[in-house]
Amino acid sequence: MNYGRLTFALGLAALTVACGKKAEPPVAVETNKAEPATAMSGNMANMAMEPSAATAIKVKGHGTVTAIDKSAGTITLDHGAIPEAKWPAMTMAFKAAPAITDAVKVGDKVDFDLMLTGNAGEVTAIQKQP
């Protein structure tokens, strides 16, 4: 008997059981063909679904301007957590219109509005903090 194949088949069966799924039948050694797999079933109504990339949401944030690239049309912000987007605090570059990049300078502490589409965002409004 081939111990490598037996070990692999037992390991695969153990992993499949641990995941709560039915194991597929092992590959027949003589023909090297698998038997057809059974169809998965279950209630998927309670599964959390990620918003599609086309879904845009508007969120607010607070942070500090760390860079402005007017030629690229971006502003880099070291911002606090943004719970609506499930983002931790981080430094990130965002698209921004010239009116936005002209309104602030590096080092300014700001409040800002973001329009998020997927993992990309655009600063749509910005105000210096007093």
For 90-116, give one letter per residue: b (16+ CB within 10 A) or e. eebebbbeeebbebbeeebebebbbbb
Tens of pLDDT, residue by residue over 34-76, are: 444 444 444 444 434 444 456 889 999 999 999 999 999 999 9
| 53 token code pair | 């990339």
Model pTM score: 0.58
> CATH second-level architecture of 56-128?
Beta Barrel (2.40)
DSSP element (H, E) containing 115 = strand 109-117
42-50 long-range contacts, Cβ below 8 Å, gap at least 24?
Answer: none
Pairing, β 109-117 against β 120-128: antiparallel
- Which sequence spans correspond to the domains of the chain? 1-49, 56-128
Strand partners, 127: 111
Tens of pLDDT, residue by residue over 74-106, are: 999 999 999 988 889 999 999 999 999 999 999
pLDDT over 80 (residue 112): yes
